[in-house]
Amino acid sequence: MIQQDWPIQGRARRCARTGREFEEGEMIHSALHREGDTLRREDFSEEGWEELRAAGSAPFSVWRGKYEPPPPAGARPESVDQADAEVHLRRLLADGPSPGQAGVAYLLAALLERKRLLRPLPLDPSAPAATLAYEHTKTGELFLVPAAPPRLDSLAEVQADLATLLGH
C-alpha cells in the first residue's frame, strides 16, 4: 500500500481560466497538474474547462463536482474524535465484528490510518486474505481488521452506523 501526502490546495472560489466566481451548486471541473515533484490544483467553470481543452492542456487527473462555498470564517467543520474512533475500533475488534459491522471497523481503521495512529503492515502470506494488519504507532499493538470496504449499495447504511457509533 503506497501512502503519499500531497500538499494540494482546496477548491478555489473562482475559475482559474475566466476568473469568474463560482455559484453554489454550479458544476465545476477540477484538475491536477504535475509540476516536478508536486501537484498543482486548478478549478474551472464549464466555459473555462472548454477553453482549457481547446488549448490542448493534458492534466494529470481531472474530476467534476458541484461547487459548494466554503463555510463562514470561524466555523469549524465537524470532526471525529480520534480517541473515540480508537475506542470503538478496539471494542468492535474485541467482540469480533459481525458481517454488518465489518464495514464500520474498516472505515474506523482507515480513519485512524489517515490520522497516523495506525500504520498498515504487510501480511504474512499464511494470514487470511480478508484481513488487514495495522500497527498502533504509539503502543506497537497489532490490529487485525476485516478487509471489508463498504459496497456502494450499502455505503449509506454503513455511514449511518458509523455516525451513530461516534455520536454524530
User: Is the dihedral angle over the CA atoms 51, 52, 57, 60 positive or is it negative?
Assistant: negative
Q: Which residue would you say has higher pLDDT here, 95 or 83?
A: 95
Residue 38 domain boundaries:
11-75
Alpha helices in the chain (DSSP H): 46-54, 82-95, 102-114, 155-165
Q: Is residue 1 assigned to a domain? A: no
Q: Is residue 4 included in any domain, yes or no?
A: no
23-27, 70-74, 90-94, 113-117: range with lowest mean pLDDT: 70-74
pLDDT tens digits for range 109-166: 888 998 889 988 876 666 556 788 888 888 878 888 888 777 777 677 777 777 776 6
2 is a domain residue? no
Mean pLDDT, the chain, rounded, equals 79
User: CB count, 10 Å around CB of 121?
Assistant: 14
Q: Per the structure, how many domains does the chain have?
A: 2
